[in-house]
Amino acid sequence: MRNYYCGGDLLRYHSIAELAATARRRLPYFAWEYLEGGAEQEWTLRRNRAAFGAWGLQSRTLVPAHPPATRRQLLGQETPLPFGIAPTGYNGMLFPDADLHLARAAAQRGLPFGLSTVSNASLEEVRAAAPDVNLWFQLYPMRDPSIQSDLLARAESQGVSTLLMTSDASTLGNREWDRRNFARPRQLSWRNKLDVLRHPGWLRRVMWPKGLPIMGNLAPYIPAAERNALGSMQFVSRQMDTLLDWDKLARLRDGWHGRLLLKGVLHPDDAERAAALGLDGIVITNHGGRQLDGASSSLEALARIAPRLRGRLALLLDSGIRRGSDVVKALALGADMVLLGRATLYGVAVAGEAGAGRALDLLADELRLALNLMGCPGIDALSHDWLLDAEEGWT
């Protein structure tokens, strides 16, 4: 009988799905819903995964199975694998100091780590915990220009190599299943309060002794009376700049001296405008299916964007990556790198740094195995020719 393992021996976890199953058991329902859920009917959330299943892989036989080449030169730096950890917010709900655990797991493997504006750990704390990490910073546009300027100055002082301007979350999507867990804004329903009591391990790890953490990057700007979990969230909702446009992005390009990526691109014309502004790259993403329900999957958007933009700026993709073969398909369709969100969050929710590391190692092993089974010598050889679609009998 098929069952996932759910114990403490991380070597017995053999897939991202297995880590996810244990994370679901260990988290109270409201925290799991925050991690796993999407917007409205969750069509886009499901489409992100279905899009990978729509492509098959070609294989060639009698090719010696040498260790495949997986190193990638991107944005002026070389990484041993074509993926990094995406910026995600409020990870302290899943595991204490989750941002620090994720950063250390990435640093140990020489991979980029993206920190969100709405992370629980601050830029300074992450740099202290992982001095050698290739630190990227996701900037949410702020209404108050002095806050945004200070965030950028802090990012530069902490050696942030790459800035990601997020363009698709100034207005939050309708995450109604998440909201149903609350009787009032950020006030859990009685059913969910009882469910929390059924997770004493989570209570002991996350809530004791200080309760849910605040947003570390924004703490210096939040009024003292509001420096708590609820106050942090209310502050973000007040400060998010809903009037972000191309002119503001151009001014950011002029003022930021490092590498700049636009995160939230799904349309080829937007990718063209980003290239015209001199951006270093884009992140093709639908925010994990958490914003506009009915939007294209990230992989489908990549297939439209890459033929026009590949080679003109870096093309990164996130949303839906759960297997090493998913990474192969994204690279074959034209991505230079993928970013991992939920995949590493499942791991950190299970076992902190070690769990996040296990998620990264599983994907790395699966990537190498897929390339060997395909008879592909390395990621630089990947192209559309290695893929099968419906017209070729793959459904």
Q: What are the sequence ranges of the domains in the chain? A: 18-175+237-392
Q: Are 152 and 255 in contact (CB under 8 A)?
A: yes
Residues 43-55 have pLDDT tens digits of 999 999 999 999 9
Report residue 11's pLDDT band, with 50, 70 and 90 as the boundaries: very high
Q: What's the pLDDT at 391?
A: 66
The residues near 163 (Cβ < 8 Å, ≥ 6 apart) are 136, 137, 139, 152, 155, 256, 258, 259, 260, 261
Residue at 80: amino acid letter: P
pLDDT > 70? residue 4: yes
Site of tokens 């802090």? 154
User: Tens digits of per-residue pLDDT, 294-323?
Assistant: 999 999 999 999 999 999 999 999 999 999
Map residue 90 onto helix, strand or coil: coil
Pick the CATH number of 18-175+237-392 from 3.20.20.70, 2.20.25.90, 3.40.50.2000, 3.10.20.30: 3.20.20.70
Spatial CB neighbours of 189, under 8 Å, sequence gap ≥ 6: 180, 181, 182, 183
Question: Six-digit token pair at 386?
Answer: 């290695």
CA distance 367 to 154: 36
Nearest one of 124, 62, 80, 125 to 98, comparing CA atoms: 125
**Average pLDDT for 69-97:** 96
Lowest mean pLDDT among 28-37, 97-106, 109-118, 204-213: 204-213
Residues serving a catalytic function are 287
Summarize pLDDT for 243-281 with one digit per residue, the tens. 999 999 999 999 999 999 999 999 999 999 999 999 999
- β strands within the chain, DSSP E: 56-57, 72-74, 77-79, 83-85, 112-116, 134-139, 162-166, 182-184, 187-188, 259-265, 281-284, 314-317, 337-340, 387-388
- Residue 10 CB neighbour total at 10 angstroms: 18
What is the pTM (predicted TM-score) of this model? 0.96
Question: What's the angle, vertex CA 75, arms to CA 145 and CA 122, rounded to 5?
Answer: 45
Q: Give the per-residue pLDDT at 175.
A: 95
Q: What is the mean pLDDT of residues 99-123?
A: 98
pLDDT band at 186 (very low <50, low <70, confident <90, very high): confident
